[in-house]
Amino acid sequence: MPVQTIVAIVLMLGGVFFLAVSSIGLLRLPDFYARTHAVGKSETLGAILTLSGLAVYNGWELSTFKILFILIFVLLANPTATHAISRAALRSGLPPWTRKKKDNIEDKS
Amino acid sequence: MSSFLLVIAIFIALLTAASMYRVAVGRTIFDRIIAAGLVGTNGFILLVLIGFIFGRISMFVDLAIAYALLNFVIIIVLGKYFDRKLEEP
């Protein structure tokens, strides 16, 4: 098995791990602001690792540069979109989750 | 290598299906928007993987570029639209 394929497999396994962390965080974290933490960072890193693994596996072609364009675009756009949504949520008055308040206890899920 | 890519693609599809729970149930509207963005991101990763599995990379990569651009635009527009006081339910 060539070195290129082994590097691609390692990168894609790491990327799938971070995608799994992102989905579990989206399902299990208690609050909207905590879920943005899962989506904004783990999802970006998982997408970058998976796409770079595919680019390494593909070799030097035109499709590789298109995959690298998608990768750079995800790196710029995904945290920007998450930040825009969380700014809109904060300005629209969604309260952050705290452990101490009595009236937020039934709100966690 | 092709079967490895198939296993990876099936696993990412299962993760995407699990994330659809947050789109359907989500506590607030912002949870739904964030989960829809995650489903879109997983979707174009899945498109590139499907291109490698079918052996038609050049077509599926162009589709993935279009999906990535549309996903970003949709989330930014929804963020501008919901940037106001919510009425009490």
Contact A93 B12 (CB under 8 A): no
For chain B, the straight-line distance linking the first and the last C-alpha, in angstroms and rounded, comes to 52
Low-confidence ranges of chain A (pLDDT < 70): 100-109
Q: What's the domain count of chain A? A: 1
Residue A68 domain flag: yes
Considering only the beta carbons, identify the residue of B19, B27, B62 that sits closest to A26.
Answer: B19
Measuring CA to CA, which residue among A43, A15, A58, A69 is closest to residue B62?
A69
Considering only the beta carbons, identify the residue of B30, B61, B71 that sits closest to A89.
Answer: B30
pLDDT the model gives residue B89 = 53
pLDDT tens digits along B5-51? 999 999 999 999 999 998 898 788 889 999 999 999 999 999 999 99
Residue A102 domain flag: no
* pTM, two decimal places: 0.86
Eight-state DSSP code of residue B55:
T
Contact B48 A77 (CB under 8 A): no
pLDDT the model gives residue B25 = 87
Q: Where are the domains of chain B?
A: 2-78
Contact B78 A54 (CB under 8 A): no
State how far the Cα of B84 lies from the Cα of A88, in Å rounded to an integer: 7
Residue A44 domain flag: yes
Residue A67 domain flag: yes
Residue B79 phi/psi, 5-degree rounding, is -65, -40
Burial class of residue B53, CB neighbours in 10 A (0-12, 13-18, 19+): middle
Q: How confident is the model at residue B87 (pLDDT cuts 50, 70, 90)?
A: low
For tokens 């789109």, name the residue.
Answer: B23
pLDDT the model gives residue A2 = 87
Give me the domain span that covers residue A86: 3-95
Residue A23 domain flag: yes
**DSSP letters spanning A62-80:** HHHHHHHHHHHHHHHHHHH
For tokens 């509207």, name the residue.
Answer: B29
pLDDT tens digits along B72-84? 999 999 888 888 7
